[in-house]
Amino acid sequence: MNLIRGLLKEERTKIVLWVLDGLGGVPHPEHGNRTELEAAHTPNFDRLAAESAVGLSIPVRPGITPGSGPAHLALFGYDPERVQIGRGVLEAYGIGLTLENGDVAARGNFATLDPEGRVADRRAGRISSEECVRLVQKLQEAIPSVEGVQVILKPGKEHRFVVIFRGEGLGDKLPDTDPQKEGLFPVEPRGGDFPSRFTARVVKAFLQRAREVLRDEPRANGILLRGFSSIPNVQPFPGRYRLHPLALASYPMYRGITRILGMDTPMDLQTFDDELRLLKQEYERYDFFYIHFKDPDKAGEDGDFEKKVERLEEADRRLPEILDLEPDVLVITGDHATPTLLKSHSWHPVPLLIHSRVSGRDRVSGFNEAECRRGSLGILRAVEIMPLILANAKRLKKFGA
Amino acid sequence: MNLIRGLLKEERTKIVLWVLDGLGGVPHPEHGNRTELEAAHTPNFDRLAAESAVGLSIPVRPGITPGSGPAHLALFGYDPERVQIGRGVLEAYGIGLTLENGDVAARGNFATLDPEGRVADRRAGRISSEECVRLVQKLQEAIPSVEGVQVILKPGKEHRFVVIFRGEGLGDKLPDTDPQKEGLFPVEPRGGDFPSRFTARVVKAFLQRAREVLRDEPRANGILLRGFSSIPNVQPFPGRYRLHPLALASYPMYRGITRILGMDTPMDLQTFDDELRLLKQEYERYDFFYIHFKDPDKAGEDGDFEKKVERLEEADRRLPEILDLEPDVLVITGDHATPTLLKSHSWHPVPLLIHSRVSGRDRVSGFNEAECRRGSLGILRAVEIMPLILANAKRLKKFGA
């Protein structure tokens, strides 16, 4: 990274990084031993791949299955083993909260506790989002602070919310209070170091107050907290790369990541259509565009091969809208593979395509795992993609005499 | 590197490393989407490639475009991000000067300054090399030392020369005095640390004296200095690999690198013919031969596709002369790509061929980017080539029991 910093130069080139979430797959024995991408009819991707440099991207390391956080950090050029963003922080930023240094955030679930205090339903019967708003408001009014520490609450979807503890001397070394299993008692908050022991006291007091406030709720009479975390010390993306980035994502988690990295992140996008519309609308104002397409990952997690194929074909149909903007560099890849065979994220390498006037063209016959394996980019780590993007955008000077 | 050191063993095998400068390319849309190497008729290279292990070499890292210095250091097995050689040192060694520890070298240009002292012509109208010799002699006689520091001058080609400052307590953290643009004043020397502030005082005094000496020169009435640098702490190549190396290069910069690494480096070679003649002549006396062929890089920088093709074909025609020597290991690669499409060095991976009795043979159909991509060496970093060379030369023992 120090190397890159010394080589950056200003250019007016425009970069589009299109992330197809869960893009990669493995050949599925029940589907002719093809991957979803091999089965999909993707004439636009295939044509572009033939005129691009292609390869395969390893999200973190061989064998490591990443969550969306590390996978995206790597794509943005941050070492995912060094920069780790806690779940609480991610959720907070995802729903529009901004943390101050020293804040501790956690993700909350409303839950149903039985009369002895054991967890009867970890999601309180998946109460509605409206119900969640009401409950969070009720809590916030009743508990503006505990132990001199400010409590900031914000509702998420259904049973989910975020809590931020703001005050002096808080630590974030706390295990989840969620026991992950019904029939068990919530885990007692216990701090792993001196400041976190203070946080534990604060959290305990907060949970006790919350139980009193929620006492008469038929379903949401308790709270479980997860992912206690403070804001990581991470270099903002714009200064790191001298880019003016716009992040287009319609799911909170991805917005959380890009907001933490200091990218301009509109919070009101609902669909991929919204993303593309804003891409066109704001194309002149920015020079780096991250676009997120969630659907392949969802279909992969569901183990729905045809659905994943169909969503990839939909992405292919939308490609011309991006090509029409004629970005100087267009990158298409995934944050990780989500093979329907596994019904989950996986460690498998992910197809990668970099197209620019100077990318070279590998003349492969399609955009899929097998063809990308033959490309000039080889099999590389996701964290190495940003320097390649900058090189293709002519934003890196020569290194050394 | 520590690993290699413990495994080295003596052998009588002979190694030839032939560097075709700027070898790599990218498919050129105006030339049938072929690279220069694909367009070239290279029957000898192609035949050899089929009987060799081939791959692609990344000079430094994906996306990083190297200068010749870092690119060659990597080929010789030195981490180019750790060993960095300043321009002044490189130029000094390139024209036959040898630095002592603590010396500070800089590259000089004669320049034309206007009456106010602004740079009117950064190259003094590209005065002749003979003129340069006269001017350097005049300066050297008038300024043998300043501030108790010895001044050593040596002319280069045309307007270029090298200056070495030799004395106690000098640092090399100084910006170039060359403003890079005409119409601007030369940059005042200012040291970035304590010893460099002393160097700045010395340089300032030297430049002042030089202006007086050159006052009556019609064109070369000023001096610009660049690349202040001291000799890096670099392990000599012969001891590092237990090899007795001969470096055959007809351009100063490459001779500078090999001299800094402690390779025997004849300084009087003018052409590639000279290099080949000396290779044959000295073949018995050495066991490692570096041969440099500059032409593809020059044609690439000029954006002259046909010329680069033609120079690659010329290299191909000369291959039998090297094969006739029957080296135990023959390596053919480039230090970096110089695609005519870019008219500059680039970051793209470079074809690599290693031929020995034990190299394996990848049975590819030719020596070019696309075929090398299919080879058993894969896509590797240039710094990893030296261990492969040593292995093929049977100069590395087994690691571990």
Same domain? For A250 and A267 the reply is: yes
Range of the domain at B160: 89-229
Tokens coding A148? 């001199």
Whether B300 maps to a domain, the answer reads yes
Give the pLDDT score at B401: 81
Length in residues, chain A: 401
Report chain B residues whose CB lies below 8 A from the CB of A384.
61-63
Cross-chain Cβ contact A399/B67 below 8 Å: yes
pLDDT at A1 over 80: no
The CATH number of whichever domain residue A387 belongs to comes to 3.40.720.10
The position carrying tokens 């995802």 is: A94
Confidence of residue A363 (pLDDT cuts 50, 70, 90): very high
Residue A400: which of B69, B373, B378 has the nearest Cβ? Answer: B69
Domain C-terminal end among B191, B207, B229: B229
Confidence of residue A8 (pLDDT cuts 50, 70, 90): very high
Same domain? For A257 and A386 the reply is: yes
Domain C-terminal end among B197, B229, B261: B229
Average pLDDT (A356-367) is 97
Cross-chain Cβ contact B348/A360 below 8 Å: yes
Report chain B residues whose CB lies below 8 A from the CB of A363.
27, 33, 370
Same domain? For A72 and A212 the reply is: no
Give the pLDDT score at B180: 87
Cross-chain Cβ contact B346/A359 below 8 Å: no
Report the share of chain B in percent with pLDDT over 70.
100
pLDDT at B53 over 90: yes
Q: How many CB pairs under 8 A join A and B?
A: 98
Same domain? For B284 and B357 the reply is: yes
Largest CA-CA distance found in chain A, in angstroms, rounded: 74
Mutate which: B28, B347, B376, B383, vs A, most A CBs within 10 A: B347
Give the pLDDT score at A401: 77
Cross-chain Cβ contact B65/A362 below 8 Å: no
Burial class, A148, CB count within 10 angstroms (exposed 0-12 / middle 13-18 / buried 19+): exposed
Same domain? For B277 and B323 the reply is: yes
Domain C-terminal end among A169, A201, A229: A229
Give the pLDDT score at B2: 81
Q: Report chain B residues touching chain A, CB-CB < 8 A.
A: 26-27, 33, 56, 60-71, 80-81, 84-87, 90, 227, 253, 339, 341-342, 344-349, 369-370, 373-374, 378-379
Cross-chain Cβ contact B370/A362 below 8 Å: yes
Same domain? For A21 and A40 the reply is: yes
Same domain? For A274 and A324 the reply is: yes
**pLDDT of B230-240, one tens digit each?**
999 999 999 99
Same domain? For B95 and B222 the reply is: yes
Cross-chain Cβ contact B33/A359 below 8 Å: no
Same domain? For A43 and A180 the reply is: no
Whether B399 maps to a domain, the answer reads no
Cross-chain Cβ contact B370/A384 below 8 Å: no
Give the pLDDT score at A228: 97
**pLDDT of A244-281, one tens digit each?**
999 999 999 999 999 999 999 999 999 999 999 999 99
How many Cβ atoms are within 10 Å of B360's Cβ, its own excluded?
16
**pLDDT of A48-99, one tens digit each?**
999 999 999 999 999 999 999 999 999 999 999 999 999 999 999 999 999 9
Average pLDDT (B74-79) is 98
Report the share of chain A in percent with pLDDT over 90.
97
The position carrying tokens 């101050």 is: A100
Q: Beta strand pairing status for B53-58 and A145-146?
A: unpaired
The position carrying tokens 């994502």 is: A249
Whether B398 maps to a domain, the answer reads no
Whether B358 maps to a domain, the answer reads yes
Report chain A residues whose CB lies below 8 A from the CB of B68.
400-401
Please state, in angstroms and rounded to a whole number, the distance separating the CA atoms of residues A49 and A273. Answer: 24
Length in residues, chain B: 401
Same domain? For B110 and B201 the reply is: yes
**How many domains, in total, are found in chain A?**
2
Mutate which: A331, A376, A386, A388, vs B, most B CBs within 10 A: A376
On average, the pLDDT of chain A sits at 96
Same domain? For A338 and A270 the reply is: yes
Whether B401 maps to a domain, the answer reads no
Whether A117 maps to a domain, the answer reads yes
Q: What is the sign, positive or negative, of the torsion defined by CA atoms of A30, A36, A38, A43?
A: positive
Whether A399 maps to a domain, the answer reads no
Give the pLDDT score at A100: 95
Q: What are the residues facing A166 on neighbouring strands?
A: A150
Residue B61: which of A360, A378, A384 has the nearest Cβ? Answer: A384
Give the pLDDT score at A321: 98
Element (H, E) at A189: none
Query: How is B313-343 classified by DSSP, letter by letter?
Result: HHHHHHHHHHHTT--SEEEEE-SSB--TTTT
Q: Are B243 and B99 in contact (CB under 8 A)?
A: no
Average pLDDT (B167-185) is 94
The beta strands (E) that lie in A122-201 are given as: 145-146, 149-155, 160-166
Please state, in angstroms and rounded to a whole number, the distance separating the CA atoms of residues A278 and A291. Answer: 10
Q: Are A278 and A258 in contact (CB under 8 A)?
A: no
Same domain? For A279 and A192 the reply is: no
Give the pLDDT score at B184: 95
Q: What is the ipTM of this complex?
A: 0.91
Give the pLDDT score at B35: 98
Average pLDDT (B7-34) is 97
**pLDDT of B339-376, one tens digit each?**
999 999 999 999 999 999 999 999 999 999 999 999 99
Report chain A residues whose CB lies below 8 A from the CB of B335.
none
Give the pLDDT score at B155: 96
Whether A385 maps to a domain, the answer reads yes
Does pTM surpass 0.90? yes
